[in-house]
Amino acid sequence: MLDIRRISTSRWWHKKKNWTIFGIFLFLVVVRISKGSIYKDLYYFISKPFWPGKFQKEIILKSVDQEYAIKLNLLKKDNNRLRRILSLQESSNNENISAAVISRKTGSWWRQIILNKGSKDGVEIGNIVIGPGGLLGRVKNTSFLTSSVTLITSPESKLGVWVDRTQINGLLVGLGDDSPSLILYSKDSDIKVGDFVSSSPASTLLPPNIPIGIVQSVDKTLKSKKTAKISLLAKPHLIDWVQILKVNI
């Protein structure tokens, strides 16, 4: 009786082992036939707990939003710049002449621009030239078709200006670089970084209240005067269109 049970148990185990081998074989055949798709689906479920979570998704979305914000900001700047250029192109009238910059001379001693409007268009020596932002310079000479403008960054340029906040008059002198110097003939003059500078009502060369620049730095006070560096609002090396003001001082 005992021997019969042992044989029966042995046969049952042998039968179970065969079914296991057959199941593995069948699984491999199915994987082969499906070209691995079942394996991939299985890997899908196995790897799911290790996928990038919500935190990584938020980082990616934030980066995308920042990229779009930067692009939008650049588009706004380009749009504003093009609007200013278009305004300068279309705003010629009896008092103002719109002109294009056709040449630049930016050496230390020859800081000037050449415009495509001259005496035939009514341009005269001494006319004021402005661009997007503010004052650029004055017309030095003209030909029939063109005019040359001495920039306020030129060492030849000396203009009366004032500090809007304190209404202190001073002299703006070009140094041959991008930042002219403001000279205030009082060592006690109240001036600080960020002050706005415009043309002075007392100037004999400019109309009053033309925007010029912002105080960039204040130099050491000398015995009888104080000087400061001015960051110009209008950038001569970036401007393609200007306006010539036909005004009498």
**49 belongs to a structural domain:** no
**SS3 sequence of the chain:** CHHHHHHHHHHHHHHHHHHHHHHHHHHHHHHHHCCCHHHHHHHHHHHHHHCCCHHHHHHHHHHHHHHHHHHHHHHHHHHHHHHHHHHHHHCCCCCEEEEEEEEEEEECCEEEEEECCCHHHCCCCCCEEEECCEEEEEEEEECCCCEEEEECCCCCCEEEEEECCCCEEEEEECCCCCCCEEEECCCCCCCCCCCEEEECCCCCCCCCCCEEEEEEEECCCCCCCEEEEEEECCCCCCCCEEEEECCCC
Q: Whole-model pTM above 0.75?
A: no
Q: How far apart are CA 33 and CA 128, in angstroms?
A: 85
Q: Is there a domain that residue 102 lies in? A: yes
Per-residue pLDDT reduced to its tens digit, 16-29: 666 677 677 676 66
Yes or no: say if 91 and 242 are a contact pair by the CB < 8 Å rule. Answer: no
Query: Could you report the per-residue pLDDT of 29-84, keeping only the tens digit for each?
Result: 666 665 555 555 565 566 556 555 555 456 545 655 665 666 676 666 666 655 55
The reply to whether 107 and 201 lie within a common domain is yes
- Tell me the per-residue pLDDT of 71-125, one tens digit each, with 9 for 90 and over: 676 666 666 655 555 555 554 556 788 888 888 876 665 688 989 889 999 999 9
Tell me: pLDDT of 131 over 60. Answer: yes
* Residue at 232 is within a domain: yes
pLDDT reported for residue 1: 45
Residues 75 and 117 in one domain: no
- Do both 204 and 137 map to the same domain? yes
**Once rounded to an integer, what is the mean pLDDT over residues 203-221?**
85
Structural domains of the chain, count: 3
Report how far residue 179's alpha carbon sits from residue 229's, in angstroms, rounded to the nearest whole number. Answer: 6
Residue 130 lies in a domain: yes
Of 38-47, 177-186, 193-202, 239-248, the one with minimum mean pLDDT is 38-47
Tell me which residue range forms the domain holding 16. 7-43
Query: Does 152 reside within a domain?
Result: yes
**Higher pLDDT pick, 200 / 76:** 200
pLDDT at residue 206, as a whole number = 85
What pLDDT is stored for residue 215 in this prediction?
Answer: 93
- Please report how many Cα atoms fall inside a 13 Å half-sphere around the Cα of residue 179, on the Cβ side: 11
152 & 223 share domain: yes
Mean pLDDT, the chain, integer: 76
